[in-house]
Amino acid sequence: MGFARTCSVALVGVEGVVVEVQADLEPGVAAFTLVGLPDKSLVESRDRVRAAVVNSGCEWPQKKLTVGLSPASVPKSGSGFDLAVAVAVLGAAEAVAPAAIADLVMIGELGLDGGVRPVRGVLPAVLAAAEAGYRQVVVPERTAAEAALVPGVSVLGVRSLRQLVALLTDAPVPEEEPLRAGRPDPTLAGLLVPGAGVGSGLATGGRAAGGDGPDLADVAGQHTARLALEVAAAGRHHLLLSGPPGAGKTMLAERLPAILPPLSRQESLEVTAVHSVAGMLPPGEPLVATAPYCAPHHSATMQSLVGGGNGLPRPGAVSLAHRGVLFLDEAPEFSTKALDALRQPLESGHVVVARTAGVVRLPARFLMVLAANPCPCGRHTLHGAGCECPASVIRRYQARLSGPLLDRVDLRVEVEPVRRAELLGGGGRGEPTAVVAGRVARARQRAVTRLAGTPWTANSEVPGHELRTRWRPAPGALAAAERDLERGLLTARGLDRVLRVAWTLADLMGHERPDAADVALALELRTGIARGAPLPPRPAAPVPAPAAVVGSEP
């Protein structure tokens, strides 16, 4: 009787569970049995593994073969177990030494020719292996850079099963035929989900906020909205932009990722793990270093927003926007059920999705930006524009954004139509993205320094009790907010959020702590009611002089 074991990883959401792959050979009629709660794609691995072993020049054992995946109670899915199953079978057949593979973690799909093809979710799988104490992993060569992001783990990237067998048996490693120039690599198809690109609204911040991307200087006017955008980025506050069509709501939201600070190492690993599982990690870019930007269409279902699907739930838009921006354009057009499902992740920073196949906890700490028109036709707030929407229709349209959802939004800004002088450049261009991003980074650093030694890194994460007892504003600064609380204009949650925005404004302006002016401006940004608080001065870029026309008279 032959027996061997090795290890692989089963992904449950974006978390991994180390699975021991055991192979047992016994005398009897040749058969291949796979047990341990495998799904359909994993059951099919029997045929892939047999063909890969034979085409790699190894002999397939003609005995009764049983492969067990332990723990058997954890659901296993996907083709990433192929490599571990094949090596365990070869170990049981004594083609490789069983002791040499016992402490290895193997992840990869096998082609019928023995080639090792990349799979999604390599980074969270290697993270799970490292946390379980394993220090050696074998992955497809295409995903070796992604696996190498995990510190303290030795990564071996292989292109074929025969290469791995040669390394395990100390034989000369065969050279694989290189890919012909100009020919697409078919193995990369397993890394990306079809349609998960820029056109779907699910893209990494590198595409939305690249060096040659849209610039804030392109936004004409909109001084209050630009300030709200800066405050949202500095404190990670949720934002509602309301106004008529064409006022610049989408234009502003698309420029928000570029002014967010770069992700820290830990944040990059979190974002990369989610995108790797979702099949959105571009080949050649193993680490997501910029804030992601996710803008789903208003026809998106609740499952596509918060996560779901058949079997074990998969990450939704809120998880793909983790540590980045979730932009919901035409927010009232989303279903009420989908919008209200966002209330829990807005508070907790994660999503717990329960299905019959299991319960999955997905990260979802994102910055939400809502864009809404005042009425179905969008002309309700425009004087003389001829809005014919009945009052009842307008009320129903605006009520689609429920009160509990809006209570979680820190900043609510009315985006006014751009005036002719501003649009044609008479007032000069606004500040460019680089200048605003520098100011946001300095404000975020002040908050990080103040919150050192706590589990929080941004003002929006600090509990209200801590703001009222540990980090108090200036004496008398909360008088206006307390009056609004007594009149019912603010809830207790709303008062806490005003305090958080006031601290962000103080960080942006270099104040030691919020004063009455900071609180008044925070109240104005939340309620939309003018409080007489002056906007901070922001210099405009100079208007370039018109080029001289050749042959014109002076």
% residues pLDDT > 70 (the chain): 88
* Closest by CA position to 23, among listed 110, 113, 107, 95: 95
pLDDT in tens, 414-429: 988 887 767 776 555 6
Could you tell me which of 112, 101, 115 has the C-alpha nearest to residue 45?
112
- Per this entry, what is the length of the chain? 554
Cβ count within 10 A of residue 103: 13
Residue whose pair of structure tokens reads 């691995």 in the numeric block: 45
The sheet carrying 325-328 orders its strands as: 202-203, 293-294, 325-328, 367-372, 239-242, 411-414
pLDDT at 546 over 70: no
Helices 82-92 and 161-168: angle between axes, nearest 10 degrees: 40
For residues 265-295, one letter each, b for 16 or more C-beta atoms within 10 angstroms of the residue's C-beta and e for the rest, the string is eebbbbbbbbbbbbbbbbeeebbbbbbbbbb
Is pLDDT at 198 greater than 60 in this prediction? Answer: no
- pLDDT tens column, 249-299: 999 999 999 999 999 999 999 999 999 988 888 767 789 989 999 999 999
Among 489, 488, 485, 491, which Cα is nearest to 407's? 491
Q: What is the pLDDT of residue 208?
A: 40
Res. 480: pLDDT tops 50: yes
Give residue 1's pLDDT: 61
pLDDT given for residue 459 in this prediction: 93
Work out the average pLDDT over 383-392: 80
Task: Give the chain's mean pLDDT.
Answer: 87
pLDDT at 426: 55
In this model, does residue 58 exceed pLDDT 60? yes
pLDDT at 298: 92
Bridge-based pairing of strands 136-140 and 325-328 is unpaired
Does the pLDDT value for residue 552 go beyond 80? no
* Mean pLDDT for the stretch of residues 354-364: 82
Within 10 angstroms of residue 127's Cβ, the number of other Cβ atoms is: 22
| Distance separating alpha carbons of residues 3 and 88, to the nearest angstrom | 8
Q: What is the DSSP string of 177-198?
A: PPPPTT---GGGGGTS-TT-SG
